[in-house]
Chain A
Amino acid sequence: MTFLNPILLWGVPALLLPVVIHLLNRLRYRSVKWAAVMFLVSATRSSVRHARLRHFLILLFRVLVVLLFILALSRPLIGGWLGISIAGPAETIIILLDRSASMEAVDPRQRVSKRQYALDMFKKEIQETSSSSRLVLVENVLCRPQEIAGVSVLDAMVTTGPTDTAADIPAMLRSALDYMIDNSTGRTEIWMASDFQSSNWRPGSREWQNISAQMASLPQDVRVRLLDLGETYGRNMSVALHDAVQRRSSDARRLSVSVDIARETLSQDVFPMIVTLDGTRSKVDVALQGQSMRYLKRMEIADEKDPGGWGKIEVPADENNRDNACYFVYGSHPPLTAAVVSSDTESARYLGLAIAPAPGLVNTFCEQSFPEDWAKLSLNALAMVAWQAELPEKGVARLVDYINDGGSVVFFPPSGGAEAGGAGNAGTNGFSQLLGFDWGAVDQSPAEEPFRIIAWEENEGPLAGTSDGRALPAGELAFFRRRGLRLSDGTGDNWHAIAGYQDGKPFLMRRSIGKGRAYLCTSLPRDDWSEMKNGRIIVPMLQRMLSVGGRRLSGIDFGTCGDWKPDNEDETWRSMDSPDQKDVRWHAGVYRHGGRVIALNRSLREDNPEIVDASELQDLFGEVKVQVLKGLEKQVDDAVQSEIWHIFICCALACMMVESALLLQEKKRRGRNEDSWR
């Protein structure tokens, strides 16, 4: 138990006040010379025991009254499931179940996963305290409310099972909030169970402010009870696919699969890694130095395996088996063609070189187009479009459909237009509204202190490290000019920063639209803009964007479990890696639908060890009452709890009534004695 006004606890010595008054009263006696002492002595023997007990009880209740008032004024907070019992059952309980991959970590003491523990805990508490409440389940994959008849069905539901997905906590809360707005839920409690992964909670998102404000303004009483399952056990090892590239040499085809291996301890230096290629398993002993490494596995592929196949890499079982495997597919790649739409000759030239540095060797080609001619491009055959011009005003739907279909579009700032300090496009057109951004003013760096990239995603994405584990030299480049970005309020949150300058402004951003991706790069490969012309950043960056866009054309694909969705619900995707029934919506694996093959891996966000600090929670939820319960330790976290001062006031009043009753009883008894003597 904690207190909002703990300073008032210094008043606890006031408990002695009734005792001191009692003692002082006893000391203030007067002397009487008495003859009938013999009766006094016998009366003292018989009466004192009961009277002392009664007086002790009166004194005790007086002390309790003082204590309870002091405690009430100190505004105590209480947590734990006790708080639920005190508050009474809610009319509606919305269970937000985080069944992301990280929630499958098994506590060695409980021998159940965090997800299962949370389900068991919820079932038990609902059965004991809130069996009459309406139950609604919101889980992280479908992210839509499901009304359930009772807790007994929770275990049987497919939407409460384990997944390889990541969770989007603000989206889950938004779904719960929409349900509360659309339905008269009465007094509502949101029961959440989470391991507080920062990547799932996204504490920096502005969505939190909207959610907390709307939740607090709801007419019904809303409370959030949060089961904290953030404990880690320090024995986990994970493997994640970095890249799977098929290369053809003169004599053979080789598949290079690089994986990132990470673990929490240094206890095991050599471990067996199981590599499965087209169903054939082999074991490789891997020596792991340090806590993480990138491992490159090269495999020969027979020609008859053309056009492609699949594979899987596994590490030994540990506390969380959901992150012990990653999947890949390979196949023959058609030539990849990209288009550069630019009115700036210098930029267009270097962008074209970065996309197709040696067309005969790397099987990539580049087309050049002016902005006014871009409608003539055949987008269906393009793996990527590099747009270095003002944003288009015509043919917007065509370009958006291209991205939705899986294409990649990278936007570079127009080289002309507004100079430093000036505005870019005077107004926003339809395209910028759809994508949620617009170009701002050109920003010139001081001559002696150019802009530099200081933070970027090194594990995945266009600026990820090389297959041998080395990071791209993004930090070494100097940028002299950059263009500002104006992200619109409605859709701007969907843009995710991949790399940023030292002043926090973005260098590269990404947004997923449909099956494709759009990128924003705020500088240009021009001498007066940056050192990108040296190719150390822009070549791998554009090649990777091209590769992602090219999957649309190859028939093989990689996706993130949970994020990737079939084009329509009628498609039947069957698992290739396991005879067990797997659901493409939330299980990682290799799936086939007709001629299309996809390798779905768990989201790398699940490997992010960063968690949200408990002190941040109250900020995230704003004025919404939040109670955090330490789940597996069965301890109450005192950081965020609810007030129970009114209970202390009630107890104090009850004590006063008991004390008054004792006093009245004694007074009545005295009166009766007086009457009998008169």
Chain B
Amino acid sequence: MARFADRDFIDSAVVARLSRLQVNAATPMLGSVTGIHKSATRGSSVEFAEYRKYVPGDDIKHVDWRVYARSDRFYMKEFEADTNLRCHIILDTSASMSFEAEHGRKFDYARRMAATLAYLLVHQGDGVGLHCFADKIVHDIPPRRTPSHLKNIFDTLAVVEPAGKTEVVKVIHDLAERISQRALVVVFSDFFTEVAPLLDCFQHMRYRKHDLAVFHLLDRQELDFKFDRPIRFDDAESTFKLITDPSVVREGYRRAIDDYLSDMLRGCREFNVDYQRVMTDEDYEKSLAAFLLQRMRMT
């Protein structure tokens, strides 16, 4: 297990408290080994799944003779399979994630959540991969379930810093194609891009049968827009600058971001995406616990 002493983004106390919860997949997974998640295939667990008609070649030991006695037909008794899952953590490392208000950077918040989630997954025997992206994927760690792999992930998280423009849509489309087996995909980003293409890539990911969860990281300042004096806003990802009186644009700004968030929420519900809006002034442990509990209730 990785040591936390030199990782300021992982808190052993938080990890210890959250370890009592499971990270569940909302959809059946295709794992390589037996695990705690429901498999997409039938297996040999004790939990009955369904009946199906006998076809030549089936092992007759699974024929339900009682049903044959009642109906004079051969039905095969099938049982659920439990498997492990692969989780792909996609972390936005574009410059916009470096936005910093009084509660710290959004990126640090996302990094803490990603690290904790990775630890919990590995801890319960699931594989975890990490994809850090800005305009392209800058760090790409495929999922593994060994504790040493967790060290790689932590090492990467320790060195990565937000920089560059965001190409979240392109990156998610790419990953949707690249991730071959169904998996749990968790995206940490501020998603400051057009909603429609973003929902397209979410749909793409769902089409590939991935269990998609998105953590939408927002700062309170970005929602409230509480400024009183003229301010020059410097775009974090470009050289664009805008001097304006916040009192003049506040109403329009709030209307725009309200519309954006509404569209986002509606699209995620439509495509069955687990949408988590996270405010960076909230405790990340709480946010993560809520996410895990919600998932546990779903299964």
Contact = CB atoms under 8 A, between A and B. Distances in A.
A40 interface: yes
Given A29-B231, A32-B233, A673 B250 contact: yes
Interface centre among B96, B233, B250, by most A CB within 10 Å?
A: B233
Interface stretch (B27-35, B139-147, B238-246, B291-299): B238-246
Given A43-B253, A47-B248, A48-B248, A36 B231 contact: no
B242 A44 contact: yes
Interface residues of A, number: 31
Given A28-B229, A37-B240, A40-B242, A55 B248 contact: yes
Contacts of A38: 192-193
A352 B22 CA distance: 152
B247 A670 contact: yes
A33 B242 contact: no
Contacts of A35: 96-97, 99, 106, 190, 192, 219, 222, 236-237
A28 B228 CA distance: 12
Interface stretch (B36-44, B74-82, B150-158, B254-262): B254-262
Contacts of B224: 677
Interface in B243-289: 243-245, 247-257, 260
Nearest to A43: B252
In the complex, which range does the number of interface residues on chain B fall in?
35 or more
A666 B231 contact: no
B264 to A, nearest CB: 13
A29 B246 CA distance: 11
Contacts of A29: 229-232, 243
A666 B237 CA distance: 33
Interface string A1-41: 00000000000000000000000011011111111111111
A38 B193 CA distance: 8
Query: Which secondary structure dominates where chain A touches chain B?
Result: helix
A36 B216 CA distance: 13
B251 A673 contact: yes
A51 interface: yes
Nearest to A31: B232
Given A31-B232, A40-B242, A41-B242, A677 B248 contact: no
Contacts of A250: none
A677 B223 contact: yes
B281 to A, nearest CB: 15
Interface in A28-82: 28-48, 51-52, 55
A670 B222 CA distance: 17
B50 interface: no
Given A40-B244, A670-B250, A33 B255 contact: no
Given A42-B252, A677-B224, A25 B230 contact: yes
A35 B240 CA distance: 11
Given A30-B229, A32-B231, A40 B249 contact: yes
B234 interface: yes
Contact of B249 (A25, A47, A669): A47
Contacts of B11: none
A39 B218 CA distance: 14
Contacts of A51: 245, 247-249
A30 B232 contact: yes
B232 A32 contact: yes
Contacts of B254: 43, 673, 677
B215 to A, nearest CB: 15
A40 B253 contact: yes
A33 B236 contact: yes
Nearest to A26: B230
Contacts of B235: 34, 37
B106 to A, nearest CB: 8
A42 B251 CA distance: 11
Contacts of A677: 223-224, 254
Contacts of B222: 35-36
A35 B224 CA distance: 14
Interface string B192-218: 110000000000000000000000000
Given A39-B260, A677-B223, A26 B233 contact: no
Contacts of A33: 98-100, 234, 236
Nearest to A42: B256
B239 to A, nearest CB: 11
Nearest to B106: A35
A281 to B, nearest CB: 90
Contact of B245 (A26, A31, A32): A26
B190 A47 contact: no
Given A25-B230, A33-B236, A43 B256 contact: yes
A44 B244 contact: yes
B196 to A, nearest CB: 13
A48 B253 CA distance: 11
Contacts of A31: 231-234
A31 B96 CA distance: 16
B248 A34 contact: no
A20 to B, nearest CB: 15
A376 B229 CA distance: 110
Nearest to B219: A35
Contacts of B237: 35
Contacts of A55: 245, 248
A41 B250 CA distance: 11
Contacts of A666: 247
Given A35-B99, A38-B192, A44 B231 contact: no
A28 B247 CA distance: 15
Closest 8 CB pairs of A and B: A43-B252, A47-B252, A43-B253, A51-B248, A35-B96, A29-B230, A34-B233, A39-B256
26 contacts: A25-B229, A25-B230, A26-B243, A26-B245, A29-B229, A31-B233, A32-B232, A33-B99, A33-B234, A36-B222, A37-B192, A37-B235, A39-B260, A40-B233, A40-B242, A43-B256, A44-B242, A44-B249, A46-B252, A47-B253, A48-B244, A48-B248, A51-B249, A55-B245, A670-B250, A677-B223
Given A29-B231, A43-B249, A43-B252, 5 more contacts: A25-B230, A34-B233, A35-B190, A36-B192, A39-B256
